[in-house]
Structure 1
Amino acid sequence: MADGAIAADQLKLFIERIERLEEEKKAIADDISDVYKEAKANGYDAKIMRTIVRLRKMESHELQEQDALIETYRAAVGLS
């Protein structure tokens, strides 16, 4: 029975850590949102900024592959 109590205590600690991290994640998401709002207020396009942030996370070869596919699709629909 002692093992069950220990396991329950450990589980509770894990849950509490997750909850704290979720709160931190929410606070960070709010901070990021505030930065986008500030940038928008200064005349920048937040949607394009989000795209640039996403692209900067990509590996070079992934970015090149995506660019090639976009160009192929643009040409196929007459946007080139």
Structure 2
Amino acid sequence: MVATEWTSDAGRVSRDQIRALVERIERLEEEKKALADDIKDVFAEAKGNGYDVKALRAVIRLRKQDKDERAEHEAIVETYMHAPGMLADTPLGRAAIERAVA
């Protein structure tokens, strides 16, 4: 059963605290939306100047990773690229193939 009236002092405090929390969350949500809009504008500016937005997003994602995490991810990607022969046309890929054949 939901109480429709808050009669006790404890109830008033709870109601005030809940209202304050909700209002803070709403303000933060508004700020988050404003920041998202600002970021969208910066990406649009970059695109307008001829930059590749996907590449910028990739750089930002990589910069968020720590050095070890990034190195591990790059090693995994390289391994996955090697499997279908995607690295065969690079000097490093040709050297790896020559070493494997020898």
- Give the TM-score range, shorter chain: over 0.9
Higher helix proportion, which one?
Answer: 1
Name the TM-score, length of structure 1 as normaliser: 0.97
Q: Which residue in the other structure is 1:51 paired with?
A: 58
Q: Following superposition, which runs of at least 4 residues in structure 1 exceed 4 angstroms of deviation?
A: none
Question: Can you list the C-alpha shifts for 1:26-73, whole angstroms capped at 9, x where unaligned?
Answer: 000000000000000000011110110010010000000000000000
TM-score, L = length of structure 2? 0.77
- Structure 2's unaligned 5+ residue stretches are 1-7, 88-102
Q: Who wins on radius of gyration, i.e. which is larger?
A: 2
User: 2:100 aligns to what?
Assistant: none
For residues 21 and 77 of structure 1, the distance between their equivalents in structure 2, rounded to whole angstroms, comes to 47
**Partner residue, 2:74:** 67
For 2:84, the equivalent position in structure 1 comes to 77
| Greater relative contact order (CA < 8 Å, ≥ 6 in sequence) | 1
Q: Aligned partners of 1:45, 1:34: CA distance in 2, in Å?
A: 14
RMSD: 0.5
Structure 1 gap segments, 5+ residues each: none
